[in-house]
Structure 1
């Protein structure tokens, strides 16, 4: 227990404390000019430093909200609001999560299929893989409006356009990870399968696929986080009224920086939970396979 606290808990707490200290310092520095301007307009002089710090950390629309302001906003919009309320961050997170998961599932399946085809076909390896890599050089902020406009033109709206943007971001890490995993078996193991007169399907199911599992889950962790980013980005050009992206838009329109930061923090927590869920599934699967991790 002592070793767990020393090597697991304390390092995390130390990083969190440092981040909070930097955040509070930055909040004071960035909010001070506006606060001093308020003092000047109110003809207040020789304001104590402690009062200045207190006022900069309690502004209604600060340049940079303090951590406690963000936590208070999250508490108000999660615990104190009904889940069905349009002001509830739980409601908006649920909307974003639905498109995230749909895009992630489509992207994971697409990435695995492409990887299998690439590994088993030299022609596709030389022709398709460069296009897969090139696809990620296009900025998602540029392509997202195009995807939504094209899909709306053919009558597809709602959840699917945002899911397709998530798919666009999530299929790539799965493809690359699975290609690496399916090619990970050593030459000696491949030769051993040949001595057993194993056919292509047997080599795939009994050697290539089990060897690729650790690579698959690692890429899935990256993909699910990218999928969440895609879902949020997909909500921005549509002028959505629901979802974390909508909360970011509304906050930017009305200068509600606390609302913006609370949505960002909730998005980060949601991404961490999704990655942790895949990590738990990873450990469970590898344990069933007899692999210590």
Structure 2
């Protein structure tokens, strides 16, 4: 156990050391400017103390971000609009809805692409081309169009999440459905299996490892889509709203706390998909 933890702790310690060094370097100019105005000399202890405790630093120190996370995650009630848990749940609601829509759409498209040559030649290239459009340019258009027809709130953000999450699912599912080799396909045809029986007994089980791998990418992309969907709307709720308000008022500590909260949410979501993958594939005999 110790041998496994040592490399992880070493990397974390190195990252924290680099973070502190970066905070001192990036915040030092403000300290020097203030000292020059006051006509005082900047000593090393003063430099370290000031650069690591500024109210609005260019790069907040790790302990400042940790204090902000404690204040907004643990000290505040989860129903408070100053709680990061409250804002994270708003973002996660759009993420999960968009992920469900994107996954369902991706699986349906993949099945159609594999079984229909016309869809393979037409839909797949368009799906690939759709991912070349920058989401920052597309998100305001989606929100404006949906607002114009009276659709507001959770659904526009979910649509943006679905847009980002469906493509990995399509690609992974198509690869998985085409994974069975010719010998396996010929064997089922020899036994007189119908097209639906080939799908349910061979193609679908073979595609599950590919599907779960793509779901991990898709759910992380869905979270990014939900956060991006909160930015152009001037939202007051969600992690994107916390990032936006922090940038408006120069609250870099708030921005970094929201970013780390988003990273934790992404890690939890991917971990849940990974756990589901382990259970499902284990029961089906994969990896034994």
- The answer to which of 8-17 and 243-252 deviates more is 8-17
Question: Where does 1:271-286 land on structure 2 (aligned, <5 Å)?
Answer: 271-286=266-281
The separation in 2 between residues aligned to 1:160 and 1:182, in whole angstroms, is 30
- Counterpart in 2 of 1:29? 25
The separation in 1 between residues aligned to 2:33 and 2:5, in whole angstroms, is 43
Q: Quote how far apart the aligned CAs of 1:44 are.
A: 1.2
The separation in 2 between residues aligned to 1:18 and 1:213, in whole angstroms, is 38
Q: Does 1:5 align with 2:2?
A: yes
| SS across alignment from 2:258 | helix
- Counterpart in 1 of 2:237? 242
- The answer to which of 95-104 and 185-194 deviates more is 185-194
Counterpart pick for 1:149 among 128, 144, 159: 144
- Counterpart in 2 of 1:104? 99
- Counterpart in 2 of 1:14? 10
Q: Does 1:159 align with 2:150?
A: no
Counterpart pick for 1:82 among 77, 84, 108: 77
Query: CA-atom RMSD, angstroms?
Result: 0.9
**Any idea what the Cα deviations from partners look like across 1:101-156, whole Å, max 9, x if unmatched?**
00000000000000000000011000110000000000000000000000000110
TM-score (norm 1): 0.97
Q: Does 1:58 align with 2:45?
A: no
- Which consecutive unaligned segments of at least 5 residues does structure 2 have? none
TM-score (norm 2): 0.98
Q: Quote how far apart the aligned CAs of 1:185 are.
A: 0.8
The separation in 2 between residues aligned to 1:121 and 1:10, in whole angstroms, is 52
| SS across alignment from 1:21 | helix
The separation in 2 between residues aligned to 1:247 and 1:41, in whole angstroms, is 34
Counterpart pick for 1:289 among 253, 266, 284: 284
- How many pairs does the alignment contain? 288
